[in-house]
Amino acid sequence: MSEIVNEYTKFGPLFLVDEEHYPEFCSYLKSATYKKSDFFLKEGEKCQYVGFLKTGFMRTFYINDNGEDVTFNFHFDNYFFTDYESILCDTKSRMNIKAVSDTEVASLATHPNEITALIKEAVEAVS
């Protein structure tokens, strides 16, 4: 995670965070490594994170009614990815997000308690 924290000029604008609050924002990110074929999200799970692909290659896909694997999207370096429908509707995902190569991901939890805490801190800082 240190490369993200130490490179505001590269990553700060991608996250839409000003330089003053950038280190605090980075403290909420969780770093993970996924090996080729590992899943970030499997169909039937609730998506709880927005991922930021630092390095590697991932794919979002679903299995249609005929049992066919259908690619929905590809994700490359410096790319955000998640299952927005699962997060916004608080439903189980119909998508799979899988590493096509070894990857490094920074994730931001979307769990209401963590987001609420983040918003509360931001409001208190402005007040």
For the record, the structure tokens of 20 come out as 């003053």
8-state DSSP, 94: S
Quote the pLDDT of residue 121. 67
Quote the pLDDT of residue 13. 80
Quote the pLDDT of residue 81. 94
Quote the pLDDT of residue 47. 93
Residue recorded with tokens 């995670």: 1
Is residue 55 classed as helix, strand or coil in its secondary structure? Answer: strand
For 48-97, write each residue's pLDDT tens digit: 999 999 999 999 999 999 999 999 999 999 899 999 899 888 899 999 99
Q: Which of 31, 29, 30, 12 is nearest to 21 (CA)?
A: 12
* Of 10 and 44, more confident: 44
Q: What percent of the chain has pLDDT over 90?
A: 53
* CA–CA separation, 90 and 67 (whole Å): 25
Residue recorded with tokens 């805490």: 117
Residue-range domains of the chain with CATH:
30-126 (2.60.120.10)
Residues constituting the chain: 127
* CA–CA separation, 21 and 104 (whole Å): 23
